[in-house]
Chains A and B, each alone.
Chain A
């Protein structure tokens, strides 16, 4: 059902829209952000600089962006999907040529007032494009190979571009979120089964091939896999981060060592403690209770999004909400798995908590889309 098919008059207009926002979702996002501020204050040794203060400003800006996007009818955003997608691809290309190099990868475009990370933006525009595509595509065409090839190309183009940066974390998120939207849109099981089978086959081949004449990866890549599987084999090298991270988590115990009392983070044993590994500081200082609480809030956000998606009869809206919530889920699931030693360290931040402007802005903009879909849902 598209916007032409329901009476636009049933949706609220003007500032009344504010009353129809999904307020529980807004409050949950604010509470997650506040936890983030607290942790940034803690890892700076009890100081608002250098991390907490800019983060609060960005969050304020992000909230404004979110409300602005929420006020604009969802059908406008649907019409913008292709433009948004192509713009982000253009930005990724720009990174290729004009990007700033930082931390071993070329990811940023310096806009003067802020450094934009187009790969983050792409996660949302890809979801928008796929949602608009499946909104447009008649149901019976959904599982036709030709019509599947189009979204697959749409996913693969930005994926390969971020892999070149290199940014494995974003590539995985793009693949998983894109695949997720395709799954939600009703693409036949068999395709997913085939992809998973192929994936398992490839992994088996990678391991079986080791040491033989047809081994698929370079030796150093195998060593990285070894380190991931057993960090203790390289405690001072690549395994150091993950070992220290697990020590920090574990030493938190049931109720934690207390706010600003985490020795692992305070004494710099933790790597990247204000960005990718901020969860370990939280787990160290607030323990199992704190860690599970954050996970709980995250899951509530996901659940509220799913409820919102189920509540709307607009296909684009439902797909965008589900896509955004899946991306959000992938962020924290991959990040937590990574710091708990369940996944390799691929560089995915903890959403709304890790220090970083682009992710914060892009996520709040994405939740703006969710809000817009919620406000402008057919009644």
Chain B
């Protein structure tokens, strides 16, 4: 096929033209691609570099070691103990089912844990470790370690777990930690990222919760490079965290242990305060519970047992419970009257067994009355009529002012949960809260620590210490933080007349040492350690006129929850006060019978710094006391062993 050369020339020219056109278009397109490259790689380079770094760098938080808590002598109250767990890396294990079967032949795996672990393995990539068993003991972990070659992908891991070696003794003071809950996170605005570490624990109640920020420490962090599936390729750098502060408390673990044992199964509370510096030596609330149960998460059955117990083991009665102080309040009224110069020590009041106030009869606890009563006798024998009379002369305002001066009705700043302020009523308090006028009868009721008056055992101990010293003793719980001594609570003079104070103290001395005193039976006979005290029996029910006529029902014939509260406050030695103690036995009956013996025993234990000699007790008590000492020694629970002891 021949073609016309001219024709060929035309087609060739047309093709060349279109080839150049297409080539031009290609060049323009390539230019566009180059511009796009410039836009991405030069103009936006910084932004994309940042995104690339975000892709590859993961920040992993390192949990800091929680600060430990010790008593005044360095005995551990809350420690971090090594806890072992077993983890599996499915990828290294290969046949996961077989490895788990082999492992369960060596140690017991909780089926619930196993179920959770298998579910977790299914969700996460195979190179991420999954916890198979937690809180493994030393023997079991050794078994696993020895058989490690036969268990591919299984590694024992050591972590730190909180333990409370003194178990129930400090449950209410130190409190406990627990895993962070969703509720906890909701409570905090902008929670620290560390709280989201799985298994991270924070203080839930008590000192652990109140000083959480200092105990927790600062989280460390490591930066790791991860690939697209999240596998860690290498560690880039690491910044270690700062461990939480170690805290030394003012409490004495051995004394507290004794007090807790002495209170036994009563629903009771005892507070021992140092009269020299306000150190709280013991703060007990009974019955108690083992805080170690809460650390891993308490079982529903155990928890129900605690909440359904009528003796309320979870409540911290020493600072959180408030009770009518009863006759232990009488010193306040006496002191207020003495300071006002309303009475002299010699003046007497006639007690016929009742006082008529505004047309209503206010009864003395002693039906027949006390006859002629002076101030010393009124305390010694706890005459109510004397104080009705006195209170009406002094007026409620002066009494309340004195009560607050002595540390009642005000909130003491202590790092414990739910520290109660108690209540010292005033006229405007009543009109504001009850919408009623203050009645003269209210003053009479207040004078014997009944009516609206409320105080916690800790407040009563503070009151006693202030009476004993005349100084504004304030309670102190933290002795030192990381070795730095904290300011003490010795306080300054309350500015009270020393003679008046001495008069009141003498009355308290008579309570415990005069043959007719209400606390005479529970006295100390060791001359250098003589005790001064005051009993209190506070009613929780009204006694009707009919009942009074027929004879007041005795406590032991009443159901437990309607019986009187038994109180006793005391300081010793009388000449040079060292400790002040307040004890309350809920619904325990009479203060002198139920509370005073406890106070005496605890006082001697505190003064001697251990088991006191029987010579300090009255002769006829010694056999009984000896038996009691031996029983308590036997019953003192063993200190909790931790994993480091085994290792």
Q: Which residues of B contact A315 (CB under 8 A)?
A: 8, 11-12, 15
How does the 8 Å CB contact mask read for A328-345 relative to B, with 1 for contact and 0 for none?
Answer: 010001001100101000
CB of A57 within 8 Å of the partner chain: no
Which stretch from B25-33, B168-176, B598-606 is at the chain A interface?
A: B25-33
246-272 of chain A: CB within 8 A of chain B: 246-254, 263-264, 267-269
CB of A56 within 8 Å of the partner chain: no
Q: Which residues of A contact B51 (CB under 8 A)?
A: 247, 250-251
200-220 of chain B: CB within 8 A of chain A: none
**B2 CB → nearest A CB, Å:** 7
Q: Which residues of A contact B199 (CB under 8 A)?
A: none
Q: How far is the CA of A264 from the CA of B53 in the complex (A)?
A: 9
Give the interface size class of chain B.
35 or more
How does the 8 Å CB contact mask read for A299-321 relative to B, with 1 for contact and 0 for none?
Answer: 10011001001100101001100
Which stretch from A117-125, A217-225, A285-293, A368-376 is at the chain B interface?
A: A285-293
CB pair B55 A299 closer than 8 Å: no
Interface centre among B37, B48, B227, by most A CB within 10 Å? B37
CB of A205 within 8 Å of the partner chain: no
With A1-B3, A267-B227 given, is the CB distance from A299 to B19 under 8 Å?
Answer: no
Q: Which residues of B contact A295 (CB under 8 A)?
A: 30, 33-34, 37
Q: Which residues of A contact B18 (CB under 8 A)?
A: 183-184, 186
Query: Which residue from B30, B40, B49 sits with its C-beta under 8 Å from A333?
Result: B30
CB of A185 within 8 Å of the partner chain: yes
Q: How far is the CA of A56 from the CA of B40 in the complex (A)?
A: 31
How does the 8 Å CB contact mask read for B403-414 relative to A, with 1 for contact and 0 for none?
Answer: 000000000000
CB pair B15 A318 closer than 8 Å: yes
CB of A283 within 8 Å of the partner chain: yes
Q: Which residues of A contact B36 (CB under 8 A)?
A: 340, 342
**B26 CB → nearest A CB, Å:** 5
CB pair A283 B37 closer than 8 Å: yes
CB of A322 within 8 Å of the partner chain: yes
CB of B20 within 8 Å of the partner chain: yes
With A186-B15, A336-B33 given, is the CB distance from A263 to B52 under 8 Å?
Answer: yes
CB of B638 within 8 Å of the partner chain: no
CB pair A302 B49 closer than 8 Å: no
31-59 of chain B: CB within 8 A of chain A: 33-34, 36-38, 40-42, 44-45, 47-49, 51-53, 55-56
With A250-B41, A315-B12, A322-B19 given, is the CB distance from A299 to B27 under 8 Å?
Answer: yes
**A285 CB → nearest B CB, Å:** 12
**B204 CB → nearest A CB, Å:** 37
- The residue of chain B having its C-beta at the shortest distance from the C-beta of A180 within the complex is B22
**B34 CB → nearest A CB, Å:** 6
CB pair B56 A306 closer than 8 Å: no
- The residue of chain A having its C-beta at the shortest distance from the C-beta of B45 within the complex is A253
CB of B225 within 8 Å of the partner chain: yes
Q: Which residues of B contact A253 (CB under 8 A)?
A: 41-42, 45, 49
- The residue of chain B having its C-beta at the shortest distance from the C-beta of A307 within the complex is B23
Q: How far is the CA of A254 from the CA of B41 in the complex (A)?
A: 6
Interface centre among A299, A313, A322, by most B CB within 10 Å? A299
**A87 CB → nearest B CB, Å:** 26
Interface centre among B7, B12, B26, by most A CB within 10 Å? B26
Q: How far is the CA of A298 from the CA of B33 in the complex (A)?
A: 12
Q: How far is the CA of A93 from the CA of B40 in the complex (A)?
A: 42
CB pair A250 B38 closer than 8 Å: no
CB pair B15 A1 closer than 8 Å: no
With A306-B19, A318-B19 given, is the CB distance from A250 to B27 under 8 Å?
Answer: no
CB of A79 within 8 Å of the partner chain: no
Q: Which residues of A contact B227 (CB under 8 A)?
A: 267-269
CB of B10 within 8 Å of the partner chain: yes
With A267-B56, A302-B23, A322-B22 given, is the CB distance from A249 to B15 under 8 Å?
Answer: no
Q: Which residues of A contact B38 (CB under 8 A)?
A: 288
CB of B233 within 8 Å of the partner chain: yes
CB pair A263 B41 closer than 8 Å: no
CB pair A337 B22 closer than 8 Å: no
Q: Which residues of B contact A326 (CB under 8 A)?
A: 22, 26
Q: Which residues of B contact A329 (CB under 8 A)?
A: 26
Q: How far is the CA of A329 from the CA of B25 in the complex (A)?
A: 11
CB of B1 within 8 Å of the partner chain: yes
30 contacts between A and B (CB under 8 A): A4-B1, A139-B11, A184-B22, A186-B11, A186-B18, A246-B40, A247-B48, A247-B55, A249-B41, A249-B48, A250-B44, A250-B47, A250-B49, A254-B42, A254-B45, A268-B227, A268-B228, A269-B228, A283-B37, A291-B41, A298-B30, A299-B30, A302-B23, A302-B26, A306-B22, A309-B19, A315-B11, A318-B15, A326-B26, A342-B33
Given contacts A267-B55, A288-B41, 13 further A-B contacts (CB under 8 A): A2-B3, A4-B1, A186-B15, A247-B48, A250-B51, A251-B52, A254-B45, A268-B229, A287-B41, A302-B23, A313-B8, A319-B15, A326-B26
Q: Mark A residues whose CB is within 8 Å of B.
A: 1-2, 4-5, 139, 180, 183-186, 244, 246-254, 263-264, 267-269, 283, 287-288, 291-292, 295, 298-299, 302-303, 306, 309-310, 313, 315, 318-319, 322, 326, 329, 333, 336-337, 340, 342
Q: Which A-B residue pairs are the 4 nearest by beta carbons?
A: A250-B48, A251-B52, A267-B227, A288-B41
Q: Mark B residues whose CB is within 8 Å of A.
A: 1-3, 7-8, 10-12, 14-16, 18-20, 22-23, 26-27, 29-30, 33-34, 36-38, 40-42, 44-45, 47-49, 51-53, 55-56, 225-229, 233
